[in-house]
Amino acid sequence: MSGHSNRIEKPGFGLLIDHTKPLSFTFDGKLFNGFNGDTIASALYGSQQVLLSRSFKYHRPRGALTMNGLDANTLVQVADEPNVRADLHPVAAGIAVKSINHLGSLQRDAFSVMDYFSRFLPVGFYYKTFFRPAGIWKYFERPIRIMAGLGTLDPRADHKYYDKAYLFTDVLVVGGGSAGLEAAIAAAETGAETLLIDENSQLGGSLLYGRVSDSREAADTLRTRLVAKARGLEKLTILTSTVVSGLFSDGWAAAIGGNRLYKIRARQTIVAAGSFDQPLVFRNNDRPGILFATAAQRLMRLYGVRPGNRAVIATSNTFGYEAALDLLDAGTEVAAVIDLGTTSGPTVDAVRSRGVRIVTGSTLVDAKGYLRVESVGVAAITGQGKTAAATDWITCDCVLISVGCSPALNLASHAGAKVIFDDAIQMHRAVSPPEGIALAGAAAGVWSPARVAAHAKATGSAAARLAAGEPGSEPPDADDPTAAAITHPYPIFKSGKGKEFIDFDEDLTIKDIINSVKDGYDDIQLVKRYSTAGLGPSQGRHANLNTIRIVGAVTGKPLAAIGTTTFRPPLVPEKFAHMAGRAFEPVRLTSMHHRHQELGAQFMTAGLWLRPAYYGSKDDAARTIDDEVRAVRTAAGLIDVSTLGGLDIRGPDAAAFIDRMYTWAYEKQPVGRARYTLMTDMSGVVIDDGVACRFAPNHYYVTATTSAVDQVYRAMTWSNVQWKMDVDVANVTAAYSAMNLAGPKARAIVQTLTTDIDFSKDAFPYMGVRTGTLAGIPVRVLRVGFVGEAGYEIHCPAGYGEALWDILMTAGKPHGLKPFGVEAQRILRLEKGHIIVGQDTDGLTNPIEAGMDWALAKKKPFYIGKRSIELQAAKGITRKLVGFAVTDSASPVPKDCHLIIRDGEIVGRVTSVVKSATLGKVIGLAYLPPTMTDAGQRFEIRVDGGAMVPAEVVPTPFYDPQNARQDI
């Protein structure tokens, strides 16, 4: 255990911690103590460990700044989780916390030499340095990444369970301080379902640690009253420890609480997110121990931690004086209050009456001490940003800063509110927020407690009325004269040499901003990008306003004319895990899936479906697939084709409709017959194929490919919304299981089953279709021949799929029936020269190129794509799909997409290729120029490694060219 305790043992301090529940944890391997309710940072501070991290660029020592998760100084690593904000993350017994961004130890960081080389790290360093000579960046990138990185990603880390949830509300209130509470209560009491979200574990905002009219008790009483009231309202839902990180259109908000991302839809949103403290910019203003007054108040009131033994306060408002009273109450000596102006009033009198030295019209200009502040230099202010020399050095171990605030306008800005600078209060304001967005409290520029309450109540009830669809009222008056006494107009004091930090995340100093402007980047958006001001984890909360002030000072422009940079979501760092959530990836299984598993199938994906690739061990895949092919060619095979799309097209216009959707002619197709279908899009490109089965004059059952059926269905319904033909189209893919029983023994197998279908050759010819029952199961049977053997594609309602599979497998066993998978089917179909749309066609293939001219109806007045195909036919084609065989059996087997080269030029491409055991050679399909498509034409395929494989054009089908076998 390190350091003696720094805890305050008095009532009114340590609201969140439980003194009776001590715990210990490690920081950089050393044991530290804390209490239940502590954050990592408060527990460390309580043990005198003020140093938390090293800065991004210069590796300067850094400590807590906001104690509210708003700065990058507190980023630590907790076990395998990088970039944890130590001032928000609850400490837990036994956790291992590590500091980041240093070489060696946190106390003695070897990279801290960077601090002395800062003149070699000017603003725009990367742009200026690594762009020449070309390629130099790749040599520097690795060491720079090592030096610049924050935290470590462990690729083996457990993903953990993250998820998402929707929330719906009439009124969303962001921020649970006094304004948010008042607004939420008013909205709920007006009758709106209201959701109040606050990032802290306890509601109350600044009431948790601050004062109301000098009085800590008044703040506490007000908080207790408001929270009790809020908790008692049935219509008010409260989420704490949750941060709204973005507001989007149509009342959409994203919020993160723990491992959950909330997606919120609100009719009205009230942003009562408070304000961000602004730093005092002076030499060494980043030393550990220098923190915002509110951070010190949080340490004391929430965690019972004394920020130091002897404090100096630099302020320009009463908040600084209030903090002085808190320090005194906590037992910390207040060495002096340095007032940048001449604040007056009862709070100042109260501080003075307790014997505290008050220095007016002065500022801090320097800090001494390295790992923690030891003393500060004080000087009189002589003009904007100008001081006399420091004459007064005050010893201290902590410095509290309260020189102004910037309203939290990020969320309102995400939603589309315009942000302007208001000279009267030296702060930004959101104007003309979009419909459904309102602001309250400090975010709206309202500060004094009485005004906050009145304004927030009015805002809350107005939002409730608007959410209920009632007319809105005039927005309540947000004009608050006390707001003008908060923010100092120019708390920026440049020293002769040394660093005065504007942006703690990015280690940017006054000089960097000045130089950005001098380098020609005088627009605030360009300054941001060139200097990187505001690009760090703090998102400009502490850097934006001072950057604008410096740009204003250098260019002589008024701040209102300079504008501001754009706020973009997320407000706080979001993890990829939050965005990913729980993965929802639907998997579709056919009715026979369990049987495939039992048969040892290796599965492959087809769209969302899982399909058996083959049945057997991966080690023996090639032989297994050949066996499956052989079974189909010599006996019988059974393949699950349930994933094929199916569409029922019914109604008087069914045939006419199909005629328009597909290229061939269907009006005269006899009932009980199937016909090939080819679909093209409006530009004549082949997009799908299948068969159309006519079961009745008014009923077609059309198949579509697995991956295209949804698109085909959409195209059909889109067309008929316009055509209004008397036809109904239904996608029945999931309703039907289907299996193809193929092979010379197929008929013998089905004939062993009880059926009302006549399966004899003459009664049920090739391309015939029948409906009936098979073994008691209702079926649609298609005699189609994708694999080139006699066979039956049997479709049945999906609930019966497994039973029918079982029945066929049992019936086929004496006949040598084997199940076969997609791999065997690919070989079988290629042996027959059948194309697969999407594999043997691409995004430009027209039917003529694909050798499908025969499927184009010439006499039809219209089908989708007709006009374009006619145009292409007239123009002539530049390639044609042909069959080929490799002529040298010793050469390597080409792969899909290997190129065909002639005289050093690419002239074609292989689309499918397999080693056919049936034929004893390597066969495939390829695109070739029309001049090279005659049978016997020889050409060369360039395979992996550059070898040229000789091949020749072979007419298809390769196997059974007379198509006799499918007809038996």
Partner 1 sequence: MTTPDLHLRRSPLRSALLKAGAKWEALGDIAVSAGLGNEEAARHLAITDLSPLPRLGFKGRETIPAMQKRGVTLEPTPNRAFRQPDGGLCLVLAASEVILLSPLGGDGGRLKELHDSWSLEAGERTYPLLRNDSHAWFAITGAKASDLFAKICGVDLRLSRFPDLSIAQTSVAKLSAIVTRADIGGTPAFHILADSASSLYFFDCLIDAAQEFGSSVACLDVLRSLESG
Partner 2 sequence: MKIVNCPLNGPRNISEFVWGGEVKPMPDPAKATDREWTEYLFLEENLAGDITEWWLHAPTNYWFIARRNTITDQFLETMTYDAFLARQPLASAVIPSGEAEPAAKPVTGGGDTGATSA
Q: For partner 2, give the closer residue by CB, 20 or 722.
A: 722
Q: Is 683 in the site for partner 2 (CB under 8 A)?
A: yes
Candidates 171, 709, 777, 951; binder of partner 1 (CB under 8 A) is: 777
Q: Is 574 in the site for partner 2 (CB under 8 A)?
A: no
Candidates 125, 130, 252, 766; binder of partner 2 (CB under 8 A) is: 252
For partner 1, the binding residues in 260-279 under the rule CB under 8 A are: 263, 265
Assign residue 542 a region (left: φ > 0; alpha: ψ between -120 and 50; beta: otherwise): alpha
Q: Which helix (H) or strand (E) holds 839?
A: none
Candidates 353, 432, 722, 931; binder of partner 2 (CB under 8 A) is: 722
Assign residue 707 a region (left: φ > 0; alpha: ψ between -120 and 50; beta: otherwise): alpha
Q: For partner 1, give the closer residue by CB, 372 or 588.
A: 588
Q: Is 163 in the site for partner 1 (CB under 8 A)?
A: yes
Stretch that binds partner 1, among 64-72, 660-668, 734-742, 784-792 (CB under 8 A): 734-742
Assign residue 138 a region (left: φ > 0; alpha: ψ between -120 and 50; beta: otherwise): alpha
Candidates 112, 426, 731, 918; binder of partner 2 (CB under 8 A) is: 731
Alpha carbon separation from 629 to 261, 278, 817 (Å, rounded): 51, 76, 11
Q: Is 110 in the site for partner 1 (CB under 8 A)?
A: no
Place of tokens 């025969």: 854
Q: For partner 2, give the closer residue by CB, 133 or 861.
A: 861
Place of tokens 């407690």: 449
Q: Which 3-state string (H, E, C) describes 162-175?
A: CEEEEEEEEEEEEC
Smallest gap from residue 666 Cβ to partner 2 (A): 16
Smallest gap from residue 736 Cβ to partner 2 (A): 11
Q: Is 717 in the site for partner 2 (CB under 8 A)?
A: yes
Candidates 249, 525, 566, 963; binder of partner 2 (CB under 8 A) is: 249
Q: Which helix (H) or strand (E) holds 802?
A: helix 801-812
> DSSP assignment of 243-268, as one string?
EEEEEEGGGEEEEEETTEEEEEEEEE
Q: Is 671 in the site for partner 1 (CB under 8 A)?
A: no
For partner 1, the binding residues in 796-815 under the rule CB under 8 A are: 797-800, 802-803
Candidates 59, 499, 511, 593; binder of partner 1 (CB under 8 A) is: 593
For partner 2, the binding residues in 859-888 under the rule CB under 8 A are: 861-862, 866-868, 871
Stretch that binds partner 1, among 3-11, 209-217, 440-448, 579-587 (CB under 8 A): 579-587
Q: 252 contacts which partner out of partner 1, partner 2, none, CB within 5 to 8 A by kind?
A: partner 2
Q: Is 726 in the site for partner 2 (CB under 8 A)?
A: yes
Are the CB atoms for 882 and 873 separated by under 8 Å?
no
Candidates 32, 35, 421, 609; binder of partner 1 (CB under 8 A) is: 609
Q: Is 921 in the site for partner 1 (CB under 8 A)?
A: no
Smallest gap from residue 870 Cβ to partner 2 (A): 9
* 227/185 Cα distance (integer angstroms): 9
Q: 777 contacts which partner out of partner 2, partner 1, none, CB within 5 to 8 A by kind?
A: partner 1
The residues, any chain, with a CB within 8 Å of residue 888's CB and separated by 6 or more, are 949, 950
Smallest gap from residue 750 Cβ to partner 1 (A): 17
> DSSP assignment of 42-64, as one string?
HHHHHTT--EEEE-TTT--EEE-
Fill in the amino acid letter for 246: G
Smallest gap from residue 193 Cβ to partner 2 (A): 17
* 24/42 Cα distance (integer angstroms): 13
Assign residue 582 a region (left: φ > 0; alpha: ψ between -120 and 50; beta: otherwise): beta
Q: Count other Cβ atoms within 10 Å, centred on residue 603.
A: 18
- Radius of gyration of the chain from Cα atoms? 38
Q: 589 contacts which partner out of partner 2, partner 1, none, CB within 5 to 8 A by kind?
A: partner 1
Q: Which x/- pattern, by CB under 8 A, does the window 319-358 give for partner 2?
A: ----------------------------------------
Tokens matching residue 967: 């007809």
Q: Is 168 in the site for partner 2 (CB under 8 A)?
A: no
Q: Is 585 in the site for partner 1 (CB under 8 A)?
A: yes
Smallest gap from residue 683 Cβ to partner 2 (A): 5
The residues, any chain, with a CB within 8 Å of residue 679's CB and separated by 6 or more, are 661, 662, 663, 686, 687, 688, 689, 712, 715, 864
Q: For partner 1, give the closer residue by CB, 164 or 860.
A: 164
Q: Is 604 in the site for partner 2 (CB under 8 A)?
A: no
* 187/928 Cα distance (integer angstroms): 72
881 DSSP β-pair partners: 927
Q: 189 contacts which partner out of partner 2, partner 1, none, CB within 5 to 8 A by kind?
A: none
Are the CB atoms for 750 and 815 separated by under 8 Å?
no
Q: Is 25 in the site for partner 1 (CB under 8 A)?
A: no
# residues near partner 2 by CB under 8 A:
33
For partner 2, the binding residues in 733-792 under the rule CB under 8 A are: 733-734
**What stretches of 726-863 adopt beta strand conformation (E)?**
728-731, 736-742, 769-774, 777-782, 791-797, 817-819
Q: Residue 93 carries which DSSP code?
A: T
Candidates 584, 722, 904, 920; binder of partner 1 (CB under 8 A) is: 584
Q: 594 contacts which partner out of partner 2, partner 1, none, CB within 5 to 8 A by kind?
A: partner 1
Stretch that binds partner 1, among 404-412, 468-476, 795-803, 813-821 (CB under 8 A): 795-803
Are the CB atoms for 928 and 882 separated by under 8 Å?
yes
SS3 328: helix
Q: 909 contacts which partner out of partner 2, partner 1, none, CB within 5 to 8 A by kind?
A: none
Q: Which 3-state string (H, E, C) describes 340-399?
A: CCCCCCHHHHHHHHCCCCEEECEEEEEEECCCCCCEEEEEEEEECCEECCCCEEEECCEE
Point out which residues bind partner 1 (CB under 8 A). 163-168, 193, 263, 265, 582, 584-591, 593-594, 608-609, 642, 648, 650-652, 696, 698-699, 726, 728, 730, 732, 734-736, 776-777, 797-800, 802-803
Point out which residues bind partner 2 (CB under 8 A). 248-250, 252, 263, 660, 682-683, 710, 713-714, 717-726, 728-731, 733-734, 861-862, 866-868, 871
